[in-house]
Amino acid sequence: MRFLPKTLALVSALACAGLAQAADIKIGVAEALTGGAAQYGVSIRNGFQLAAEEINAKGGINGNKIQLVIEDEQGKKEEGINVFKKLIFQDKVLMVFGPTLSNSMFAAGPVANAAKTVVFGTSNTANGITDIGPYVFRNSVMESDVLPVTVATATKHYKLKKVAVIYGNDDAFTKSGYDVFKKVLEDQKLPVTTTETYVKGDVDFKAQLTKIKASNPDAVVCSCLAEEAANIMLQARGLGLKVPFIGGNGFNSPKLFEISKLAGEGTFVGSPWSNTNPAPVNKAFVAAYEKKFGGEPNQFAAQGYDALYIAAAALKDVKLTGDINADREALKNALPKATISGVTGPFKFRPAVTKNGKPGGWDADQKPFIYLVKGGKFTLYDAK
């Protein structure tokens, strides 16, 4: 509904721009706006729209306005490929942001890479994403950078002796999070009492939690998305399981504690972003987002917002020639040097380490925040 007027506005803005001044910079945004992944895709789109508005209000990039071309990839791989092709070959965008899910990135990423067009994922945490090729970038922090710190901090704080694990085993995001947890727990020599799984769409976790309770762990390590995590916490407390939780990236949503209230008390979460991060740039972002969209932002919106600022930082140093192939190449060469201090903290890229040693893309080089949940709120953990 709120989409149509915006598109019209963009079209008319484009028409005026054509007459008045230098060309707009067309940037493709391919996110899942309908279907099961829409809850993430819509947030990401909002983050982009907010950032684009702010950048354009401040005069754009070297006088050029950003024009977002937003398409729905439905969280399906074929749609991802179709949308990428439309954006790259038909709309001739300078670069593409998205897609929402790692699965779609594995399908659509090679298309952009083959077309020598920068593709920039904001929510793809799976291993191997940046193996696709040198045109692939992401600012989504990988779990392998976050979880070791989270687990070590929690172990020290609670003096953990043994933990139980639960994760979603039919989802690429939660499964790869689990793989990292497993390795981290082995590295840090923390014994696992039992490992339980669930599948997407499950709402009843009592069988698994009963089993976990019987195994008597000191904490529950949970590679889950926030929506499921909230139910898991509530049901755990309902069964009398009182130990704290340790979560991954998926936990980081204000929704989690809106729902689970005090059930999540004492949870440790490591994450690139939190709504309570006191940095001024983040406070401004949270306020602007709430004003524009009438709801709290989440991590997905924050990473989309930052991603556009990262691209903008790189574009400042690119002299656009109007030859789309040359401009795409120039952007690809400029982007690795881009750094910002965004709502997710100081950001820079680092070259990906690929499995086969071939040149890969660029991963995020960011330090995670470690949060402890107190009074139903994320509070920055202070080790003292």
Partner 1 sequence: MLEQQLLNALTLGSVYALFALGFTLVFGVLAVINLSHGAVFMVGSYVALALITHLQASLWVAMLGAMLASGIVGLLVDMLILKPLRARNAPHLIPMIATIGVGIMLTSAAQGLFGAEVLRFPEETLPAGEFVIGDVHVRALEIAIVAIAFLLMAVLFVALKRTQLGRALRAIAESPKAAWLLGINVEGLFHITSFAAAALGGIAGVLIGLNFNAITPFMGQPMLHKGIAVIILGGMGDIRGALIGGLFLGFAEVISKAYLSSQMGDAVAFGLLFLILLVRPSGLFGRKLERKA
Partner 2 sequence: MEWLTANFGDFWSTYSTLVFSVGVHAMLALSIWLTLSCGLLSLANAAFMGIGAYVSALLTLNLGWSFPAVLLAGGVAPAAVALLIGAPVLRLSGVYLAMATLAFGEVVRITVLNLEITGGPEGLNGIPLSTEGWHIALLLALTIYGLARLRRSKVGRAFEAIKEDEVAARLMGINVDRYKLLAFTLGGFIAGVAGALNAHFTFFISPREYGFENAVDILTMAVLGGVSDLIGPMLGAAILTLLPELLRSLHDFRSLVNGAVLVLVVLFLPKGIWEPRRIRAWFQRMIGGRA
For residue 103, give every residue at least 6 positions away whose Cβ sits within 8 Å of its Cβ, in sequence order, or none: 77, 172
Min CB(300)–partner 1 separation in Å = 11
Min CB(159)–partner 2 separation in Å = 33
Residue 351 or 376 with smaller CB distance to partner 1:
376
Q: Indicate the angle between helix axes 280-293 and 299-315, nearest 10 degrees.
A: 110
Distance of CA 224 to the CA centre of its chain: 14
For residue 255, give every residue at least 6 positions away whose Cβ sits within 8 Å of its Cβ, in sequence order, or none: 226, 227, 230, 298
- Whether 308 contacts 66, CB under 8 Å: yes
Nearest to 96 by CA among 242, 307, 272: 307
Residue 57 or 356 with smaller CB distance to partner 2:
356
Residue 191 or 295 with smaller CB distance to partner 1:
295
Residues 205-224 that bind partner 1 (CB under 8 A): 206-208, 210-211, 213-214
Residues 118-137 that bind partner 2 (CB under 8 A): 126-128, 131-132
- Whether 280 contacts 301, CB under 8 Å: no
- Sheet harboring 25-31: ordered strands across? 66-72, 25-31, 95-97, 118-121, 136-138, 362-365, 345-351, 339-342
Residues 159-188 that bind partner 1 (CB under 8 A): 169
Contact status: 201 vs partner 1 (CB under 8 A):
yes
Contact status: 255 vs partner 1 (CB under 8 A):
yes
Q: What residue ranges bind partner 2 (CB under 8 A)?
A: 1, 3-4, 33-35, 71-72, 74, 77-79, 81-82, 85-86, 88-90, 102-103, 106-107, 109-111, 115, 126-128, 131-132, 169-172, 175-176
Q: What residue ranges bind partner 1 (CB under 8 A)?
A: 1, 34-36, 38-39, 42, 169, 196-204, 206-208, 210-211, 213-214, 227, 230-231, 234, 238-240, 255, 259, 261
